[in-house]
Structure 1
Amino acid sequence: MASIESYLQETPEKMLTIIEEADKLFAKVKQAAIERIVITGSGTSYHSGEQMAKQMQHLLQFEVLALYPFEITRETFLKDNDKTLVVGISQGGSSYSTYNAMELAKSCGCMTASMAGSENAYIDEVADYVLTVYCGEETAGAKTKGFYCTKLNLLLLALNIGKAQGQISDETYKKEITAAKEAADHFKTVYDASEKWIDAHKETLTSAEEIRITGPASLYGDILESALKLLETMRCPVTGYEFEEFIHGIYNAINEKSTVFILDDGNEPRTNKMKEVLSAWSDSIFLITNYESEQADLVLPTGDDPEGWHFNFIIPLQLICAKIPTLRGVDPSTPKDPNFHMKLGSKKMNQ
C-alpha cells in the first residue's frame, strides 16, 4: 500500500492532468440546461463540495448547495427539478448513501452526475453524466490527493457550464485555470515548508491529546477536512469550526492539553488576537497563514491568486497526518478496521 506522503506528492501532477482532460470530460454536461446544482457525498467528498460551493455559485450566479446524503429528501426537490443537477461524489465510488441520494434525486426529476476516483464506479450506474475524477488509485484509508482533485473537478464543472451558458467569459475562465495551475506549481514549495516545520515541532505534535482547528469561512471545507484527516490518523478527539462559530462557545474547552491550529488566508483580522488569548491557556496554539505576521508559526509560500489558495492551505495538516501518527505507533494509511464498511454494509465493496 502506498503511503499518504506518496499520494500527496502525486497531487500537483494529477491536478494538471485533470485540467488537460476537462474539455472532453465536461463536453456533454455543459450542454445541459442547468440552473441549480446540489453536491452530495460523505466525509472527504462532502468537504470538497462544501469548500467549492460558494465559489461555484459566484461563478455561475445560480444556487449551488453542498448537502450530506442524509440531508437529501424529497423536500429537497419541491419545485420543478428538470434543471437541477445533483452531483454525487464518492472517492471509492461505492458509497450506498451517495448512490441512494442520487437515485432519489433522479426519481424527483433531477439530472444526476457522478464524481468517483476511478472508472466504472457503482455510483456511475445512476448517473446521467459520468465525471470521473482522474486522480488515480488511492488505497490509503485516509484520502488526500482525492480531496484536491475533487475540488478541482468541481471548479472545472462550474467553469465549463458557465462558459457554455455565457455566464463566464473567456477571461474569467482563463483566470480561474491559471489560479489552479499556480496552486499546483506552488504545491511542492508549500509541502517542503510544511515538512520542515513539522519536523521542528514533531515532539509537541506527537504528544497532542486533543486538537481543534479554526479559520475563516473561506477555508471552511478545508477546516472540516483537516479535522477529519487528523481524527482518522492521530486517533484522538479533533474538531473543526469556522472562526465565528469557534468564538460562540468552543473556546471554553481550550486548556493546557489542547492543541489548536488557527488558519488564516487574510480573511479574518482577529486571528492574531485569538492566538494571543488562547496562548494564555495552552502552549500549543499554532497560527498558519500565507502572509507575514509576528504571530504566525508557519507562513505558507502560496501563489498570489486567492482563488487557488485553498489548494495549498490544507497541505501542512495533511502532512502531519502522514508523519506524526507513526511516532504514536499508528499506521496512518491503514484504517483501524479494514473490514469496517463491510461489517456496516455502508459500501458496495470493501475498498
Structure 2
Amino acid sequence: MNNPTMLTYINQEASVMTKILDTYPQQIDAVIDSKLLTSQSWLLLGIGSSYNAALSAKYYIEKKANVLVDLQQPYNYSNYDMVDPNLEVAVGISQSGQSTSTIDAIKKLSEENIYTIGVTSQPGKELSDACQRTLDILTGREQVGYVSLGFTATVLSLMLLGLRVGVKKGLISTDQESTELEEFRNIVAHFDETITKTTDFFKENESDFQNAYQFSGIAYGPSVGSIKELETKFTETVRVPADGNELEAFMHGPYLSINPEHRLFFITTNAKPNVKSKADSLIRYESQYTKHIFEINYTDQPNNSEKVLNLMNIADETKVPFLGGLPIQVLSWYITKSRGIDLSKQIFTDFSEKVHNKTEFQNYV
C-alpha cells in the first residue's frame, strides 16, 4: 500500500470486521484453553488504545462469559501490583506486539503458571513469544502511528472471545450465538454510513472544532472505553488538551474546569433510566456555561440539533463500543486536517530509543 493515511485504515474497517466475523469461531477456538472455561476472572493488560479497547469490551465479556474482568495498566502492574493467587487467565493486548510494559507483565505472570494470551496484529513479535497462545486481530500492521482499524478489530476480537467462551460454558445457546453474530454484522453494515454522517457532522461544525483549545468527553458504562479513546486520539492528533471522563467522575472535580470556550462531547446510549437521567441533567447544567456541547447519539430518539451526531440505534449498550471508536477516529482525522497538522510528518522519532516503551523503533509513514 502506497502512502496510506489514518483515513485509509478507517475506510477499511467494515471489510476487516467482516473478515473477523467470517473466521469465527475457528480463530477464537484456537486460543481457548480449559482455564478460560473454568476461571472466574480474567486479567486484561494494555496501555493507550489497547487499554481503551479492553475497557470497551469489558462489559460485553462479563455479560456473555460470566467472568469478572480486571483491567490493569501493565507497567504499574509489573512493578507494584501483587499477583492474585487465584488468577488463572491473563490477556496481554498490544497491536504492535512490541509494547515493553505489556510483554514484561506477561512474562511475570507466566512464571506463576497462569494461562496467557496475546492479542495483537503482529503474531510472531515479542508478545507472541511471551504468551502461550496468540489471538491475531487480522488487520496486519497499520503503517501510520495513530491506530484506528486495529482499535476496532481489538474490541471485536475481545468481544467474540467472550461470546465463544459463553457458548462453550453452556451459558449461550447456538441460536443466541447466531443472533449475536447477526447483530455484530448489522453494526458493520452501518460503518460506511457512520463515516459519512460523521464527516457531514464535522463539516457542519468545522469552525467550532477548528478554534477549540480544549476538549472534554463524558460517557457512562461500556462507552467509557470509547470516551477514553477520544482522549487518546484527540491528544495524539489534534494536539490540544483532551480528556475522557466517566459520568460520575466528571462531577467530582473536572466540572470545575468548564469555561465558555470549552468543547464537550457526550456519548448517549440506551442506558438504564437513572443513568440516562443523570447524564441529561449534566448536559442541561453545562449548557449554561458553554455553548460548545456536542453529542454522539446511539438511541432511537434523534435530536435535530446540528451539534448532535445521530448514529444507529443500538439496543444493547454493551455493543455500542464496537461502533464507538469509528466516529471519534473520523473526527480526529478531519479536525487535525482542518488545523493544518500533517500526520505524515513524524515527531519525537527518538522517543522509543530513549524511553524504551517499544522493543524497536516504529517506522511509520
| CA distance in 2 between partners of 1:113 and 1:129 (Å) | 5
Indicate conservation of the 8 Å contact 1:275/1:295, yes or no.
no
Aligned to 2:281: 273
Residues 59/263 of structure 1: CA separation in 2 closer, same or farther (3 Å cut):
same
| CA distance in 1 between partners of 2:186 and 2:98 (Å) | 32
Q: Deviations over 1:255-314 (max 9, x none)?
A: 022111111113222334323322222221112212323667224331544243222233
2:340 is aligned with 1:332: no
2:198 is aligned with 1:188: no
Q: 1:6 aligns with which of 5, 8, 11?
A: 8
Indicate conservation of the 8 Å contact 2:103/2:130, yes or no.
yes
2:135 is aligned with 1:125: no
Q: Deviations over 1:119-176 (max 9, x none)?
A: 3121000111111110222122111111110011101111222222223221332222
In the alignment, residue 211 of structure 2 is paired with which amino acid? Answer: S
Indicate conservation of the 8 Å contact 1:29/1:161, yes or no.
no
Indicate conservation of the 8 Å contact 2:270/2:315, yes or no.
no
In the alignment, residue 178 of structure 1 is paired with which amino acid? Answer: E
Q: Deviations over 1:58-114 (max 9, x none)?
A: 111122221110242585433244xx2211111111111000010011111101111
Q: CA RMSD in A?
A: 1.9
Aligned to 1:154: 158
SS in 2 for 1:347: coil
Q: Larger deviation: 317-326 or 298-307?
A: 298-307
Q: Unpaired runs of 5+ in structure 1?
A: none
Aligned to 1:51: 56
Aligned to 1:240: 244
What is the CA distance between 1:333 and its match in structure 2?
A: 5.0
Indicate conservation of the 8 Å contact 2:148/2:329, yes or no.
yes
Q: Larger deviation: 49-58 or 323-332?
A: 323-332
Aligned to 2:73: 68
| CA distance in 1 between partners of 2:219 and 2:84 (Å) | 34
Q: 1:209 aligns with which of 204, 209, 213?
A: 213
Residues 341/24 of structure 1: CA separation in 2 closer, same or farther (3 Å cut):
same
Indicate conservation of the 8 Å contact 1:303/1:309, yes or no.
no
Indicate conservation of the 8 Å contact 1:140/1:334, yes or no.
no
Residues 334/302 of structure 1: CA separation in 2 closer, same or farther (3 Å cut):
farther
Indicate conservation of the 8 Å contact 1:94/1:123, yes or no.
yes
| CA distance in 2 between partners of 1:261 and 1:208 (Å) | 12
| CA distance in 2 between partners of 1:299 and 1:282 (Å) | 18
SS in 2 for 1:276: helix
SS in 2 for 1:212: strand
What is the CA distance between 1:53 and its match in structure 2?
A: 1.4
2:293 is aligned with 1:285: yes
Q: Larger deviation: 262-271 or 214-223?
A: 262-271
In the alignment, residue 141 of structure 1 is paired with which amino acid? Answer: G
Aligned to 2:319: 308
In the alignment, residue 322 of structure 1 is paired with which amino acid? Answer: W
2:310 is aligned with 1:320: no
Q: 1:33 aligns with which of 29, 32, 35?
A: 35
SS in 2 for 1:236: coil
Aligned to 1:226: 230
| CA distance in 2 between partners of 1:2 and 1:117 (Å) | 17
In the alignment, residue 41 of structure 1 is paired with which amino acid? Answer: G
TM-score of the pair, normalised by structure 1: 0.93
Q: Deviations over 1:12-50 (max 9, x none)?
A: 111111112232222233242221311111100011111
Paired-residue identity, %: 21
| CA distance in 2 between partners of 1:103 and 1:296 (Å) | 50
Aligned to 1:257: 261
In the alignment, residue 251 of structure 2 is paired with which amino acid? Answer: I
Q: Larger deviation: 302-311 or 161-170?
A: 302-311
| CA distance in 2 between partners of 1:272 and 1:242 (Å) | 14
In the alignment, residue 78 of structure 1 is paired with which amino acid? Answer: D
Indicate conservation of the 8 Å contact 1:90/1:98, yes or no.
yes
In the alignment, residue 68 of structure 1 is paired with which amino acid? Answer: Q
| CA distance in 2 between partners of 1:169 and 1:100 (Å) | 38
Q: Deviations over 1:294-350 (max 9, x none)?
A: 667224331544243222233222112111212222123555323322221111111
Q: Unpaired runs of 5+ in structure 2?
A: none
